[in-house]
Amino acid sequence: MENILIIGAGGQIGTVLCQALQERYGESRVIASDLRVPPNPRGIFVSLDATQVLAIADIVRQYNVTQIYHLAAVLSASGEANPIRTWELNMQTLLNVLEVARTFRISKVFVPSSIAVFGEDAPHVNTPQQAFLDPATVYGISKVAAENWLHYYHTRYGLDIRSLRYPGVVSYQSLPGGGTTDYAVDIFHKAVHGQPFTCFLKEDTRLPMIYMDDAIRATLELMEADAARITVRTSYNLAGLSFTPAELTAAIQVYYPSFQTTYQPDFRQQIAESWPQSIDDTRAAADWDWKPAFDLARMTGEMIHHLSDHSV
Ligand code: AKB
């Protein structure tokens, strides 16, 4: 029987992944954790500061944990406010998780990476799995380092660690925080409330994104794949869809014709321009049969359906 610890369970992906794992494995088998415990959590939710290795070890021992999903990290935009602190937090929590996993012989670990590992010198269209990694943000630098640590712990200690380079994740269940792709969620909240949206990126900034359902399915499919099929032990490229703020606005206008976006690019524009516009994920397709299900029209319809009071 698996007992699964999620670190960063209160975040955008953690909130939804936690529910998906509870549905799959049972509520008593999933130990959600974050710095703060939300009011009325479903199932087991414990307070955990992942910068404290002994605190992670205590929970692993107490709940007999067999798998860890480590989702806590400072993201691309907020990370730039304090680069050294971001590096320390992202690396310390990662190394703590890896050491606990090694010591307690955890059977499987998931640590997400990001499209932020890519920078100026990677091809921006259909960015390949193997590309030059020269990230422009401290978040990206920490994810490149993380990918190499994952590979190291796998080859040196035989740990079964798996990872995906998430694009921007679009969700109705939870809000992102501190990312460069966050606009693609914020825009829907404005649209359903009948308000105009001010975008911090230029209208033609194309970025890779993924709808939450696809992101969760990809994570579970990767984690459940036969270990012999996992040929990438740094992190897999993962594609969902790609769009610009102008294209997303047009897709929303199908439901709200008077909805308007204005553009006031800030420092996040430069981060976005350093990232891929689209991702080549043929390796994920070949190794564990990955195939996204949501295009722009379907994603937009679902977001509006869930965020508005009525079905559209
Ligand atoms: C961010 O914008 O920083 C994240 C990411 C792409 O990893 N959503």
User: Which pLDDT tens digits describe the chain residue by residue (312 residues)?
Assistant: 899 999 999 999 999 999 999 999 999 999 999 999 999 999 999 999 999 999 999 999 999 999 999 999 999 999 999 999 999 999 999 999 999 999 999 999 999 999 999 999 999 999 999 999 999 999 999 999 999 999 999 999 999 999 999 999 999 999 999 999 999 999 999 999 999 999 999 999 999 999 999 999 999 999 999 999 999 999 999 999 999 999 999 999 999 999 999 999 999 999 999 999 999 999 999 999 999 999 999 999 999 999 997 444
Q: d(Cα 103, Cα 202) in Å, to the nearest integer?
A: 47
Distance CA 122, CA 160 (A): 28
| pLDDT number for residue 278 | 98
The protein residue with its alpha carbon nearest to ligand 1, atom 1, reads 179
Hey, whose CA ends up nearest to atom 8 of ligand 1? Answer: 168
CA distance linking residue 245 with residue 160, whole number of Å:
38
Phi, psi of 31 (to 5 degrees): -110, 105
- Ligand 1 atom at minimal distance to the Cα of residue 181: 2
What is d(CA 98, CA 308) in angstroms, rounded to the nearest whole number?
41
pLDDT of residue 98: 98
Query: Do the Cβ atoms of 12 and 169 come closer than 8 Å?
Result: yes
The whole-number pLDDT of residue 290 equals 98
Q: From atom 6 of ligand 1, which residue's Cα is the shortest distance away? A: 168
Q: What are the DSSP E strand ranges found in the chain?
A: 4-7, 30-34, 44-47, 67-70, 108-110, 113-114, 161-162, 164-166, 168-170, 197-199, 207-211, 236-237, 241-243, 261-263
| Stretch (H or E) spanning 189 | helix 183-192
Ligand 1 pocket mutation, candidates 13, 76, 268, criterion most atoms within 8 A of CB = 76
How far is residue 202's CA from residue 142's CA, in Å, rounded to a whole number? 26
Catalytic residues: 139
pLDDT of residue 34: 98
CA of 22 to the centre of ligand 1 (A): 25
Which of 113, 170, 180 for a ligand 1 pocket mutation test, highest count of atoms within 8 Å of Cβ? Answer: 180
Q: Which of 81, 85, 75, 78 is nearest to 51 (CA)?
A: 85
pTM: 0.97
- Residue 62 has φ and ψ, to the nearest 5°, of -60, -40
Spatial CA neighbour of 123 closest among 290, 302, 275: 275
Confidence (pLDDT) at 127: 98
Q: Rounded to an integer, what distance in angstroms lies between the CA atom of residue 283 and that of residue 292?
A: 14
State if residue 166 touches ligand 1 by the CB under 6 angstroms criterion: yes
* Those residues with Cβ within 8 angstroms of residue 257's Cβ, 6 or more apart along the chain or in another chain: none
* Residue 228: predicted pLDDT: 97
Query: In the Cβ-directed half-sphere of 83, how many Cα atoms lie within 13 Å?
Result: 6
* 152 backbone φψ class: left, alpha, beta (φ>0; ψ -120 to 50): alpha
Q: What single-letter amino acid sits at 26?
A: G
- 201-to-14, 57, 165, 183 alpha-carbon distances in Å: 26, 41, 22, 8
pLDDT of residue 311: 44
